[in-house]
Amino acid sequence: MTGWIAGIAAFFCIPALARAEETPAPALQEAVPAVRVFIMQMQAQITPERIRTFVMPAAGHVNNWLPDRTREQKDAIIATVNEEDMELKRKELEIQILKDKTAKRDEIVALRKQLEEINFYAGLTPEEKRWHDKKNPSDKEAVQSLKEKISLAEKELELIDIKPRRDFEKEEENYVLRMPFDGRLQYQFTLPADEAQPVYLEPSTPIATVCDDSAYYITVSISNPDLTRLDPSTLRVEIPLANGGSMSGIFSHKRVEKNPSTGGNILAYFFKLPPAQHDDAHGMIGSNCTARLYYVPNTPVILLDKMALASSPAAKTSASWQELLEAVHPEYELILEGESQLIARKK
């Protein structure tokens, strides 16, 4: 790969390349932590703190939405699905619970009556017992068994409606949509002009998306090992806007996430946006953005122009930027390769 760096110079159209042997090594450019070095462009997404999409649990009608409102508090009802069917199920549940409680109370009454009969027989005299038609009903084990059955039935009576109600509440969560957190609300279907008119939707059709708007992030996937080994606080991202402005994020956190395209894992970096940019960010959720990634050094570094380096005599015999840096400035080590500059620091 001899002459590889020189080839880079040709790519950058440097007329002085023919006189490379006469070109001295480029002077060092000192950098302070406030310097921002452009690294590359990359695909990015805007993500809120949390996001959730509700879908139809079954075919049916949606109503009770909140027209002309974009932000709601946690637990606010934002829509209901098949409201009449759910109300019928609720009434049927109450009837069934009442039936079960009545049956359990009757069972307890019958058990207590048996226990009273045994205790009554136990209090009879031997002469009276001869005229009684029961045979040894005062057995201690039978008495203990009856007491345990009564105790168990009383506990079952106390709990008899808890599980059915809990199961119904879990089912109801899919049919009565509530805000899971404070945030912005967007319906995924066209609201009718008549607010009282329910809308029919097929199963799995999106109903609404809610975003926790307490924070927004520019999210990028970084796999380059030269970048992942850097202190992430030295990275910045910026997304240019159509109005000539830009959105700039400061590193917040990173985590491994599933890649929806390939199913594999990606290392996602989250750069937090200031509150003043939240409205712009919210309008860009779901869009494909192009972000500019920058490096902001937090230690003394030097910046070397790649075109100037490629014009140096050592470029002819260097197979990489690392080799070229060692040849030109052996006292420095390469930290990062930017689009037009090399970032290095003293060894």
| pLDDT of 22 | 38
What integer is the mean pLDDT of 134-160? Answer: 82
Taking the whole predicted model, whether its pTM rises above 0.85 is answered as no
d(CA 214, CA 216) in angstroms, rounded, equals 7
User: Smallest Cα–Cα separation from 252: which of 280, 216, 277?
Assistant: 216
Supply the mean pLDDT for the chain. Answer: 84
pLDDT at 33: 47
Amino acid in position 51: I
pLDDT one-digit tens code per residue, 69-84 = 778 999 999 999 999 9
Within a 13 Å sphere around the CA of 184, how many CA atoms are in the beta-carbon half?
17
Written as six digits, the tokens of 46 are 């805007």
Q: Determine the 3-state secondary structure of 144 from DSSP.
A: helix
Contact 215, 270 (CB under 8 A): no
The DSSP symbol for 74 reads: T
Q: Give the number of other Cβ atoms within 10 Å of residue 178's Cβ.
A: 15
pLDDT of residue 14: 30
The answer to which of 5-19, 74-88, 165-179, 191-205 has the lowest mean pLDDT is 5-19
Digit-coded pLDDT (tens) for 278-304: 999 999 998 889 999 999 888 888 888
